[in-house]
Structure 1
Amino acid sequence: MDIRYSANQKDAKTYDTEKLREEFLIEKLFEADNVLSTYSHIDRVIVIGVMPVSQVIDIEKNIDCKKNLGVEYFLERRELGIINIGGTGSVVVDGEEYKLERLNGLYIGKGSLSINFKSDDPTNPAKFYMCSAPAHTKFETKLITLDIANRVELGSTETSNKRVLYQLIHPAVLETCQLSMGCTILEPGCVWNSMPCHTHERRMEVYMYFNLTEDNVVFHFMGEPQQTRNIIMQNEQAVISPSWSIHSGCGTSNYAFIWAMAGENRTFDDMDHVKTNDLR
């Protein structure tokens, strides 16, 4: 497990490219038959990628629950959100199997003892992208397909940001302690997300960009509104956004991204908006 400690806005002003990437970028999320995880001290979020190919994979592979979390099992004091961005696969939770097609989500509540992952087709493996946050009570484990997700259309082609938000793990769909997750898909010819931008002092966020071809990238903008920086991101990479930072992107093509939030509340529109002309 990769451990990331909190970074403050005063120090971040002095970061060069390498330091920005070291602190906030998660470069590799998926490896065949493995669990790759990053623990952020910002709201204690854990980002995980699992790509089962020829094996059934346990979530605790490469995670020492006693050492890393101080518990006996992974979800003893946590909740977990999953969105599959690969081929069809299954998540088995305490013996019950949930089939996840591409862009289906699964919420797993606190107290679930056993979580395993497998793919239907090793030539087109599932890619389970996950975020976990501390939880104070148990809520029902639930499969969320796109047809029951809360669908929101935003933006326009004139501003190059026409997009659809699928709010999968969201108060309009199910109950959680603090975790929210969803997927945003930009229309062809549209490249901007979250602009005009915002911060939200009461929550942190993680973006994971995907649906990018090898020769395209996303310029992810971060930092205080008057001290902006950027990180160039490739396909299937994630970036940690502290509460004091904007989080916005512009791609060399259209793309999709998964957003996950944790913190004081689950109110999606609890944002501190920033006027575009005020950015520096």
Structure 2
Amino acid sequence: MDIRHTTNPTDVKQYDTERLRQEFLIESLFEPNKLNMTYTHYDRMVVGGAQPVGEEIALDAGDALRTEYFLERREIGFLSIGGPAIITVDGEAYELDKLDVLYVGKGKRDVKLASKDSANPAKLYFCSALAHAELPTRKMTREEANPLNLGAQETSNERVLYKYIHADGIQSCQLMLGVTSLQTGSVWNTMPSHVHDRRMEAYLYFDMAEETRVFHMMGEPSQTRHLVVGNEQAIISPPWSIHSGVGTSNYTFCWSMAGENYTFTDMDVVPASGLK
């Protein structure tokens, strides 16, 4: 378990590129038959990835959480971004195709991750937050997420938004999760930008060509910074930071949030003219 502590926005103004990447970028999530996890002190979220190939991977954090099992005091959302996956929760199996999501609530003891076909291995991205109540396990397909077509070609942000875990979808205690896919020719996400000081956010960028990159914008509106992000890399976004991005080509990203409020409207929009 990689541990990331919180940072002070005043201090971040002094960080160079290497330090910014150390604090906010998760570079390696998917390795064959390995569970990679990062614990961030921003709202205690755990961000991770698994690529089971020919064997099951158990959801287990060792003694990092100081609990008897991973979901003793947590909830988790899994997003499938690779081949067909099978997630077994306390003996019940759920099959996930690409862009399907599975929510597993607090109190589930035995969670195992596997690929349906080892020749086309699954890649499972997950985010976990603290939970105060037990809620039912639920799967949602990409089609059931009620895709919304947003943006325009003229503003280079024509995209499809999929909401999975939220107040009007899969119920959770505080975790929210969805996916945004940019159409060919569109490169901007989350512009105009915003901050939500009561919630942290994590981004996973994926479905990118190997040679392409996303320039992820972060920092206070008056002190912006950027991180250059490759395929299947993730960003930890502090509550005080903007989180926008522009790519050298179109891409898809998963956004997940945890914190005080459970609504999409709790944000302070920052117009492009207000950024420096």
Q: Name 1:151's counterpart in structure 2.
A: 147
Q: Name 1:68's counterpart in structure 2.
A: 64
Equivalent-residue separation in structure 2 for 1:278 and 1:153 (angstroms): 27
Q: Name 2:240's counterpart in structure 1.
A: 244
Q: Percent identity?
A: 54
Q: After the TM superposition, which residues 1-280 of structure 1 pair with which residues of structure 2 at under 5 Å, given as runs?
A: 1-60=1-60, 63-64=61-62, 67-280=63-276
Equivalent-residue separation in structure 2 for 1:237 and 1:150 (angstroms): 26
Give the deviation of 1:174 after TM superposition.
Answer: 2.2
AA paired with 1:25? L
Equivalent-residue separation in structure 2 for 1:100 and 1:16 (angstroms): 40
- Residue 183 of structure 1: SS of its match in structure 2? strand
Give the deviation of 1:131 after TM superposition.
Answer: 0.2
Partner deviation per Cα, 1:202-231 (whole Å, 9 max, x = no partner): 100000000111110000000000000000
Partner deviation per Cα, 1:244-271 (whole Å, 9 max, x = no partner): 0000010000000000000012201211
AA paired with 1:153? N
Equivalent-residue separation in structure 1 for 2:189 and 2:120 (angstroms): 29
The TM-score, its normalising length taken from structure 2, stands at: 0.99
Deviation above 4 Å: which 4+ runs of structure 1? none
Equivalent-residue separation in structure 2 for 1:86 and 1:260 (angstroms): 18
Equivalent-residue separation in structure 1 for 2:122 and 2:170 (angstroms): 24
Contact 1:148–1:173 (CA under 8 A) maintained in structure 2 = no
More moved, 204-213 vs 117-126: 117-126
Give the deviation of 1:171 after TM superposition.
Answer: 1.3
- Residue 64 of structure 2: SS of its match in structure 1? helix
Give the deviation of 1:235 after TM superposition.
Answer: 0.1
Equivalent-residue separation in structure 2 for 1:174 and 1:214 (angstroms): 33
Give the deviation of 1:113 after TM superposition.
Answer: 0.3
- Residue 191 of structure 2: SS of its match in structure 1? coil
Partner deviation per Cα, 1:52-96 (whole Å, 9 max, x = no partner): 001111011xx21xx311210000000000100000010000000
* Count of residues in Structure 1 that have an aligned counterpart in Structure 2: 276
The TM-score, its normalising length taken from structure 1, stands at: 0.97
- Residue 20 of structure 1: SS of its match in structure 2? helix
- Residue 143 of structure 2: SS of its match in structure 1? coil
Equivalent-residue separation in structure 2 for 1:3 and 1:174 (angstroms): 28
